[in-house]
């Protein structure tokens, strides 16, 4: 066991509530039977004590949570110019691996960095707290370091024998929605994710796949397929997370030790935070909810990291993926209302 001090965690859930924990946290290896615990993981699932039990707990509505942080001013930040060359090199390696038959799809990540005039953690957390459905606000802070985001992607929601998840892949600007709805490359990328999830879940119970839809997030849109599963028998949250994570929305297809190792190496080279795209969840009152930790900002003191990933498949083109990465980062900046100095 380990203790964490000066810490805070929260997660907005699909039922409209927000579970908030304050430290010090006790980090344990197994999910507690009755106590509330946050599930804070790295993408590679290497942390042996992922369950964080808070010293204090609060559960409020997402509206109340947003109202509590309405007055916090936005942070001011100077962003560094982003060099496309490192991503271009990784992109070409990915395409070579796809053409060699090692992948059908994988998801490299680009990170933009910046520096704020003052420690931005409180302002970023407050801005993410103000984000509401269909986004899931989440955050984790320890002193002057942490991350917070508002993700559109639910990894799993589990209550008894009822499981919900989603396939979320394919991205475009909102004003391109009409052409996006018939874009073969974007549909193909989405179907990789949806069909993979169906294959991973079918043996666990009765699965219902909803028709593909478009999720409108204001400046950008995504393809969305909701999945509901009636489990044959109880499953632990840890078992389900390991079965689902990473989905092809953030991970490789096929997913095996070699393809995961390649993706992790690319993420490291491009400066991706360990928790980006990882499961972030909470176990509370017999319910487990976990989201995919994307659309967030990481901070350490005054330094910022803003990561974004793009799904690369055979028809992908470098200029289009670079444009999608910028679109996703700009959506996060707009949500936080970060101003440039």
Q: What are the DSSP calls for 43-67, one per residue?
A: TT---S--EEE-SEEEEEEHHHHHH
Expressed in percent and rounded to 5, the helix, strand and coil fractions of the chain are 30, 35, 35
- Exposed (0-12), middle (13-18) or buried (19+): which is 35, by Cβ within 10 Å? middle
Q: Which two tokens stand for residue 297?
A: 């900002």
136, 62 contact by CB (below 8 A):
no
pLDDT given for residue 341 in this prediction: 62
**Distance (Å, rounded) from C-alpha 260 to C-alpha 149?**
24
pLDDT for residue 72: 74
CA Rg, the chain, in Å? 19
DSSP per-residue letters across 183-202: -HHHHHHHHHHHHHHHHHHG
pLDDT (tens digit per residue) in 79-106: 999 999 999 999 999 999 999 999 999 9
Q: How far is CA 149 from CA 82, 113, 291, 295, in A?
A: 21, 16, 11, 5
Q: What are phi and psi of 54, to 5 degrees?
A: -80, 155
Cβ count within 10 A of residue 146: 22
Query: What pLDDT shows up at residue 230?
Result: 98
Domain-wise residue ranges, the chain: 2-62+76-340
Q: Is 312 helix (H, G, I), strand (E, B) or coil?
A: strand
One of 3.40.50.620, 3.90.1150.180, 3.60.120.10, 3.40.1160.10 is the CATH number of 2-62+76-340, namely 3.60.120.10
* Residue numbers of the chain with a pLDDT score lower than 50: 1-5
């Amino acid at each position: 066991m380990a203790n964490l001090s000066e810490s805070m965690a929260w997660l907005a859930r699909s039922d409209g509530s927000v579970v908030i924990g304050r430290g010090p946290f006790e980090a344990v290896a197994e999910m507690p039977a009755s106590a509330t615990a946050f599930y804070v993981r790295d993408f590679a699932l290497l942390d042996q004590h992922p369950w964080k039990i808070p010293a204090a707990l609060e559960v409020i509505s997402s509206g109340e949570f947003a109202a509590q942080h309405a007055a916090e001013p936005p942070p001011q930040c100077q962003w560094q110019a982003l060099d496309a060359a490192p991503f271009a090199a990784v992109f070409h390696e990915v395409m070579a691996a796809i053409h060699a038959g090692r992948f059908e799809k994988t998801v490299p990540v680009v990170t933009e960095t910046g520096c704020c005039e003052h420690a931005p953690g409180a302002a970023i957390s407050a801005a993410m707290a103000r984000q509401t459905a269909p986004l899931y606000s989440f955050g984790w802070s320890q002193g002057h370091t942490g991350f917070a985001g508002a993700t559109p992607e639910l990894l799993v929601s589990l209550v008894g024998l009822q499981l919900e998840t989603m396939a979320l892949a394919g991205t475009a600007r909102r004003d391109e929605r009409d052409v996006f709805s018939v874009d073969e490359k974007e549909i193909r990328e989405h179907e990789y994710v949806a069909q993979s999830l169906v294959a991973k879940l079918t043996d666990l119970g009765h699965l219902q796949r909803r028709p593909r839809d478009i999720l409108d997030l204001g400046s950008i849109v995504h393809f969305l397929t909701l999945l509901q599963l009636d489990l044959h028998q109880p499953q632990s949250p840890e078992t389900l997370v390991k079965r689902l994570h990473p989905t092809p929305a953030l991970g490789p297809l096929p997913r095996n030790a070699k393809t995961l190792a390649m993706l992790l190496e690319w993420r490291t080279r491009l400066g991706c935070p360990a928790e980006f795209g990882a499961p972030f969840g909470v176990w509370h009152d017999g319910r487990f909810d976990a989201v995919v930790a994307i659309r967030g900002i990481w901070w350490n003191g005054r330094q910022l990291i803003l990561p974004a990933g793009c799904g690369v498949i055979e028809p992908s083109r470098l200029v289009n993926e670079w444009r999608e990465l910028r679109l996703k980062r700009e959506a996060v900046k707009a949500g936080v209302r970060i101003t440039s100095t």
